[in-house]
Amino acid sequence: MNADSEDVEMDRHLADPRWTVAEQVAQAAQRRFPADVLAIAVHGPLAHGDDDGGGDGEVGVLVVTYRSGAGPVPATRRVDKVLVDLTVAGADDYLRQARVIDSRWPLAADRYVTTRPLHDPTGWLRTLRDEHLGRLARARPAEFSAAARRAWYRGYAAHARAAKLAEWYETDQALLMLGKARLAAATVNGLLGRTYFRDPGDAVRRTGLAGADMTEVGAVLTRQAGELAARGQPVDGTVDDLLTP
């Protein structure tokens, strides 16, 4: 990092109190658990460095320990008006998670790929990123298709429930379920296109599902069902299909 980059980084820290809180958390964790902490990082908007949260948003802090069960306990608190979501994970467990391709991969991958170190003397965060990217390089198309089908079922169930609630004039509940259907459909798109997202809001925006109504979401799910069938992952089947892995 050159001098200009360091100045920009310093200005960003001074302008955003979330960085101050994140660094306080990191320093306290190192001080209280010196023998347990391997690495500490932020993920989410702060890690990307291009959001305009203005200090009011959530800050995600990851504490990686040498072994599972050590260090602080995962928790969420508001600290100096900044919401802090503290994730604590053993190094081996977190690396195993980074190698998993499942139906929630589009919303999980960003935590493995984009982090900003607050404490990483051994370069472990680079290992995390490389492990995940290596797993993606080895993944077969069928793995993503199978995961997409599982996500599709969540979307279909949420959409069906939303439609029924709308018939019963349970508008608030219908909107809640419709939001879940949008997110699930966005996740399917991410899996089919091997695309991960920063967060749920980013997922529905980038897939064009933000604000999609009941009919539009239903049409997306129908198209996705067709694509899944073409990829050898039909969403419909017989009782025998259900009982045969």
| Residues 68 and 90 grouped into a single domain | yes
- Could you tell me the pLDDT band of residue 56, with boundaries at 50, 70 and 90? low
Q: CATH number, domain at 77?
A: 3.30.460.10
- Could you tell me the pLDDT band of residue 14, with boundaries at 50, 70 and 90? low
- Contact yes or no for 55/22 (Cβ under 8 A): no
| Residues 60 and 117 grouped into a single domain | yes
Strand order in the sheet with 115-119: 75-79, 82-90, 58-65, 37-43, 115-119
- Could you tell me the pLDDT band of residue 13, with boundaries at 50, 70 and 90? low
| Residues 28 and 92 grouped into a single domain | yes
Q: What share of the chain has pLDDT > 90, as a percent? A: 87
| Residues 124 and 233 grouped into a single domain | no
Alpha-carbon 153 to chain mean position: 19
> Tell me: the pLDDT tens digits for 66-104?
999 999 999 999 999 999 999 999 999 999 999 999 999
Q: What is the pTM of this model?
A: 0.90
| Residues 121 and 222 grouped into a single domain | no
Query: What pLDDT sits at residue 66?
Result: 98
| Residues 20 and 77 grouped into a single domain | yes
Q: What is the DSSP string of 24-73?
A: HHHHHHHHH-TTTEEEEEEESHHHHT----TT-SEEEEEEEESSTT-SSP
> Tell me: the pLDDT tens digits for 200-215?
999 999 999 999 999 9
| Residues 63 and 22 grouped into a single domain | yes
Examine the fold and report which residue of 103, 121, 138 is the final residue of a domain before the chain moves on. 138
Query: What pLDDT sits at residue 131?
Result: 97
Examine the fold and report which residue of 120, 138, 156 is the final residue of a domain before the chain moves on. 138
| Residues 115 and 175 grouped into a single domain | no
pLDDT of 36 over the 50 cut: yes
Of 190, 185, 200, the closest CA to residue 155 belongs to 185
Query: What pLDDT sits at residue 55?
Result: 44
Examine the fold and report which residue of 74, 103, 138 is the final residue of a domain before the chain moves on. 138
| Residues 127 and 14 grouped into a single domain | yes
| Residues 126 and 184 grouped into a single domain | no
> Tell me: the pLDDT tens digits for 158-174?
999 999 999 999 999 99
Q: Which domain holds residue 214?
A: 141-243
Say if strands 58-65 and 75-79 run parallel, antiparallel, or are unpaired.
Answer: unpaired
**173 residue type, one letter:** Q
Domains of the chain: total: 2
Q: Which helix (H) or strand (E) holds 234?
A: none
Average model confidence (pLDDT) for the chain? 93
Instruction: Say which residue, 47 or 4, is predicted with more confidence.
Output: 47
| Residues 13 and 130 grouped into a single domain | yes
| Residues 186 and 223 grouped into a single domain | yes
Query: What pLDDT sits at residue 9?
Result: 53
- Could you tell me the pLDDT band of residue 130, with boundaries at 50, 70 and 90? very high
Q: Which two tokens stand for residue 160?
A: 């069906």
